[in-house]
Chain A
């Protein structure tokens, strides 16, 4: 198992989020080619929105980048020494059967944050995402939007240099979607590299700095968002935008 446990001590450099590079990355367990081969580099300011039809390999790409999956071929590399501190927010937030506050202090504890700092850091993160009143509420009785905000608060408390989000708003109502998007902007402004998948073209327009378009397990296009939405280069992206089925 890849350990993503990087001690939190260095301050985040606001100007330069670490860049991520896929070098001929393939993922083909048991001989099934599920992803790649793919090479690309995320070194712009972002946020990077990963788009593509169902089964395009968006979630796989996030998991390979985050280290939840190990590439069968090729390598995922980061600028600087080793992998940066990173966090991930899932489509269905995975929350422990404890209070909202305890979910955060647990995450801080397993990241070796000294006990005396945990509660303050956790409360600060809860406050930032409007969850102060729910600190002692069991995480699993929160509403869908609150749960996703709690997952974001947990990520926030860990001050990651990179944040992956896997369709974080697909199960939420418009108000909750707006809150999550605001949170993503905050992470971005803090200097965190954002890599996020979505199905929602409007959301992508609102958030994207650049768009990574996948289809059939391969990168079809990686362009700045204005280019992608105005004059998409690849045939698949054109078809996707016009609502056709993309193979």
Chain B
């Protein structure tokens, strides 16, 4: 390779041009929004499965664990068929929009957040249960307390979800269409440049993506470590 990918990555970052900036911003918007929505649904879901005993609970746990490995392209295909004009939600006209990409990533991330938060909340519940019952708390009342007290563990779970969302390409390619300036994100741009044989540029974009994800992870790590040290 004549051009060095690290050099390309560096110059991409230094001369942050408008189109790259747009791609980076869209990537972050889509993945962060997807993770936030998935957290709003997945954390209570995980906590509920941890708290309540019901028939089929084991099945739900196994299903959530298995869905953590859902291939992105399958999620993409499912959302495509749903949002396609010929599909049940076609009327909404969401296909090939960032909203469609968010929906697909929510489906990918939700099982991770629900399954891992179920585990974390269950661990914490083991520690707190007698005290909670002693305080006369109902299960519904325990849920917010547990979610808040598991916040550091859940932040790590959140980061795992964000990692999955920002790294996947199959789903956003399928439902976003990789439209220049509209639905092109880091990963689909990398696929495109690779298919053009522009390998240093593709790798450079990859390094930019990795750098972003690392900055986000490092920030979260430092914040949570500081808080953890304070909280003991």
A2 CB contact (under 8 Å) in B128, B133, B231:
B133
> Is B138 in contact with chain A by the CB < 8 A criterion?
yes
Q: Which residues of A contact B137 (CB under 8 A)?
A: 5, 110
12 of the cross-chain contacts (CB-CB < 8 Å) are: A1-B139, A4-B134, A4-B135, A5-B137, A68-B130, A68-B134, A88-B131, A90-B130, A94-B128, A97-B232, A98-B148, A138-B232
State whether A88 and B134 are in contact (beta carbons under 8 Å apart), knowing that A96-B149, A110-B141 are contacts in the complex. yes
Least distance between A66 CB and chain B CB atoms (Å): 6
Q: Which residues of A contact B139 (CB under 8 A)?
A: 1
Flag if B136 contacts A3 (CB, 8 Å).
yes
Flag if A110 contacts B136 (CB, 8 Å).
yes
Q: Which residues of A contact B130 (CB under 8 A)?
A: 63, 68, 88, 90, 94
Q: From residue 94 to 117 of chain A, which have CB atoms closer than 8 A to chain B? A: 94, 96-98, 106-107, 110-111
Interface contacts beyond A2-B133, A97-B152: sample of 5 additional A-B pairs, CB < 8 Å, sorted by A: A68-B133, A98-B148, A110-B135, A111-B135, A140-B232
Q: Which residues of A contact B180 (CB under 8 A)?
A: none
Complexed CA–CA distance, A31 and B131 (Å): 27
Interface of A is mostly: loop
> Is B127 in contact with chain A by the CB < 8 A criterion?
yes
* 0/1 string, A226-238, CB within 8 A of B gives 1: 0000000000000
Number of residues on chain A facing chain B (CB within 8 A): 27
State whether A140 and B134 are in contact (beta carbons under 8 Å apart), knowing that A94-B127, A106-B145 are contacts in the complex. no
Q: Which residues of B contact A107 (CB under 8 A)?
A: 135
Complexed CA–CA distance, A87 and B134 (Å): 6
B133 CB contact (under 8 Å) in A1, A97, A111:
A1
> Is A239 in contact with chain B by the CB < 8 A criterion?
no
Flag if B138 contacts A3 (CB, 8 Å).
yes
Which interface residue of B130, B135, B151 has the most chain A CB atoms within 10 A? B135
Q: Which residues of A contact B135 (CB under 8 A)?
A: 4-5, 87, 107, 110-111, 158
B232 CB contact (under 8 Å) in A5, A68, A88, A141:
A141
Q: Which residues of A contact B149 (CB under 8 A)?
A: 96-98
